[in-house]
């Protein structure tokens, strides 16, 4: 099972990871690309976890979880046009750890994939390591307002991908 949670490929190189890319053959339906609308932030990512990622993990029963962590989805990163805050990352980290604890006896590996704002990378890496290490998670004073358009797009996207997955 592969779940991609990234900016819509129509708006960012390399122009892949579209919702209709669902796998082939016996793997058809086991690739889910949640291609987020530019500006999508904490609210949209929360919807993706609640309505797709957590139900998928429960039905798929993974043996382990690998997470390619991309801090470039932070609203201050110069590469993407996404809107996550450190609070959003902290919530995702917590939820991934909970999923791994419940479904895989804690077998969770994270590796860094992207992030191009060094200050943001430091903050996001810090909260990830704090969460994984069971330490109190730092809070940073950040504000980003996600548009209603982003939330509506995410809801429509979730509806689309749930129709193609045999696990949802």
Here the CATH number for the domain that contains residue 126 is: 3.40.800.20
Residue 149 lies in a domain: yes
Task: Give dist(CA 82, CA 62) in Å, integer.
Answer: 28
User: Which pLDDT score, from 0 to 100, does residue 154 have?
Assistant: 98
Check the CA dihedral 22-52-147-119 and report its sign: negative
Residue 30 lies in a domain: yes
- Total number of domains in the chain: 1
Residue 44 lies in a domain: no
Spans in the chain with pLDDT lower than 70: none
Peptide bond into 14 cis (omega under 30): yes
User: Which pLDDT score, from 0 to 100, does residue 164 have?
Assistant: 87
Q: Read off the pTM.
A: 0.94
Residue 59 lies in a domain: yes
| Residue 37 burial (10 A CB sphere; 0-12, 13-18, 19+) | buried
Residue 25 lies in a domain: yes
User: Which pLDDT score, from 0 to 100, does residue 90 have?
Assistant: 97
User: Which pLDDT score, from 0 to 100, does residue 39 have?
Assistant: 98
User: Which pLDDT score, from 0 to 100, does residue 94 have?
Assistant: 98
User: Which pLDDT score, from 0 to 100, does residue 71 have?
Assistant: 97
Q: Which domain holds residue 76?
A: 2-34+50-163
Alpha helices in 1-110 (DSSP H): 42-48, 54-60, 86-104
Residue 57 lies in a domain: yes
Residue 12 lies in a domain: yes
Q: How many CA atoms lie within 13 A of 76 on its CB side?
A: 12
């Amino acid at each position: 099972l592969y779940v991609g949670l990234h900016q819509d490929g129509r708006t960012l190189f390399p122009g892949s990871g579209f919702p209709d890319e669902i796998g082939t053959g016996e793997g058809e339906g086991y690739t889910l690309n949640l291609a987020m609308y530019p500006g999508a932030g904490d609210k949209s990512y929360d919807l993706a976890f609640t309505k797709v990622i957590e139900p998928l993990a429960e039905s798929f029963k993974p043996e382990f979880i690998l997470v390619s962590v991309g801090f470039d989805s932070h609203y201050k990163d110069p590469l993407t046009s996404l809107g996550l805050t450190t609070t959003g990352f902290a919530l995702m980290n917590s939820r991934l750890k909970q999923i791994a604890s419940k479904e895989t006896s804690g077998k969770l590996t994270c590796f860094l994939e992207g992030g191009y704002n060094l200050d943001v990378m430091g903050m996001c890496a810090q909260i990830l390591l704090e969460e994984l290490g069971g330490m109190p998670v730092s809070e940073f004073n950040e504000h980003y307002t996600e548009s209603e358009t982003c939330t509506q797009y995410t809801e429509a996207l979730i509806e689309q991908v749930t129709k193609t997955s045999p696990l949802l």
